[in-house]
Amino acid sequence: MPELPEVETICRGLSGAIIGRKFIKVQNFRENLRFPFPVNFVKNLEDRKVEAITRRAKYILIHLDNGTTLMVHLGMSGRMVVHNALRNSRDKHDHVIFHDDMGKEIVFNDPRRFGMMDIVNSSAINEHKLIKDLGLEPLLDSFNGQALHEMLKGRKVPVKLAIMNANLVVGVGNIYACESLFSSGISPLRLAGSLSLEECNTLASEIKKVLLEAIKAGGSTLKDYVASSGEAGYFQHNFKVYGREGQPCVTCDDEIKRIVQGGRSTFYCGNCQG
DNA sequence: CGGCGGTCCTGTCAGC
DNA sequence: TGCTGACAGGACCGCC
């Protein structure tokens, strides 16, 4: 489900809903998602107050008042939805329910269970196994054409796989990789190391632009993504290539092609993306 | 180390 | 209608 814009949208929604709130009861209905839940998961969350919510890559970081942080990753199909009133039923794939001191329920639902949760010391987040090797945040100023050019140097993978590699730059998933390569006029098949500095300038700025526009649109809803409010995003209406195989290119009218790279679908215009 | 393919899991949809 | 196979927003792991 979620790439960076979707996770960012959820973080913002959760911030408004639960900063300053206390978890009075936490229900966990499984022993594991992608990984086992940490020991004493429920016990370590109950009676904790939420102090802040931040994001690193696609990890939602919920900072608690005892110096620990709840890490949440949504995998492909995870959701975090805030319900303002008690529900009298639980959906099939609701795995964790947080009850706050205002009577709200924050529900983690994940059909495919590719998501994960962990609890870490806030001071050691950057040393966490899943965080420590992550690359640059694409929305920061430090991610620019020069930095991109440097990280792609000598790489023989197709540029699309390189920008989806979280050890280089985080948060760019399949949709936004396709879209930013299209708006840059760069073929997804080009070898990463072959991009000029000028092309990297373009690509870095298009990645930022596409991500920011998607955040503004509340993310992209392909099938079942919803923000923490339960609302769908609408950036999918702005897709120029993603999911448009066989349809005309918005620029030149050629048919959009679909190929498979690294086991994932790539959509592009063979004419506009040289 | 870089690069590639397999894998976790469930749901949906197209095609027969 | 029902079965089968392809495919889906992610990313780790092990192998070469």
Coil vs helix vs strand at A37: coil
Based on the fold, state whether residues A8 and A99 are members of the same structural domain.
yes
Distance of CA A240 to the CA centre of its chain: 20
Q: Give the tens place of pLDDT for each residue, A123-161.
A: 999 999 999 999 999 999 999 999 999 999 999 999 999
Sign of the dihedral through C-alpha A195, A196, A199, A201: positive
Q: Residue A274: pLDDT above 90?
A: no
- Give distance CA A42 / C1' B13 (Å): 38
DSSP string, A121-172: EGGGGGGSTTTTT--B-TTSTT-SHHHHHHHHTT--SBHHHHHT-TTTBSS-
Question: Is residue A163 domain-shared with residue A257, that is, in the same domain?
Answer: yes
User: How many Å apart are CA A198 and CA A143, to the nearest integer?
Assistant: 14
Q: Is the pLDDT of residue A109 over 70?
A: yes
Residue A95 forms part of a structural domain: yes
The whole-number average pLDDT for the span A246-257 is: 94
CATH number of the domain where residue A209 is located:
1.10.8.50
- Clarify whether residues A171 and A206 are in a common domain: yes
List bases in chain B with any atom under 7 Å of a protein Cβ: 2-12
Mean residue pLDDT of chain A comes to: 94
pLDDT in tens, A72-103: 999 999 999 999 988 888 899 999 999 999 99
A1 touches strand C (CB under 7 A): yes
Q: Within 7 Å: CB of A139 and strand C?
A: no
Cα separation, A187 vs A158, in Å, equals 9
pLDDT at A155: 93
Residue A64 domain-assigned (yes or no)? yes
Answer yes or no: do A122 and A150 share one domain.
no
Closest CA to A56 of A7, A18, A19: A7
Residues A111 and A163 in one domain: no
A23 and A80 both lie in a single domain: yes
A149 and A257 in a single domain? The answer is yes
pLDDT over 80 (residue A118): yes
Domain total in chain A: 2
What percentage of chain A exceeds 70 in pLDDT? 100
The answer on A161 and A121 residing in a single domain is no
CA at A76, C1' at C7: how many angstroms apart? 13
In a domain, A139, yes or no: no
The boundaries of the domain holding residue A256 are: 145-268
Choose one of A127, A154, A180: the last residue of a domain: A127
Give domain status of residue A60, yes or no: yes
Report the protein residue whose CA lies nearest the C1' of nucleotide B1: A155
**Residue A1 confidence class, pLDDT cut points 50, 70, 90:** low
pTM: 0.96
Predicted pLDDT of residue A2: 87
Are A112 and A149 contained in the same domain? no
Which residue spans within chain A are E strands per DSSP? 23-28, 50-56, 59-64, 68-73, 79-83, 94-100, 105-109, 116-121, 257-261, 264-268
Is A133 a member of any domain? no
**What Å value separates CA A79 and C1' B16?**
35
CATH number of the domain residue A60 falls in: 3.20.190.10
Tell me if A224 sits within 8 A of A77, measured CB to CB: yes
A274 found inside a domain: no
- For residues A246 and A157, give the distance between their C-alpha atoms in angstroms, rounded to a whole number: 26
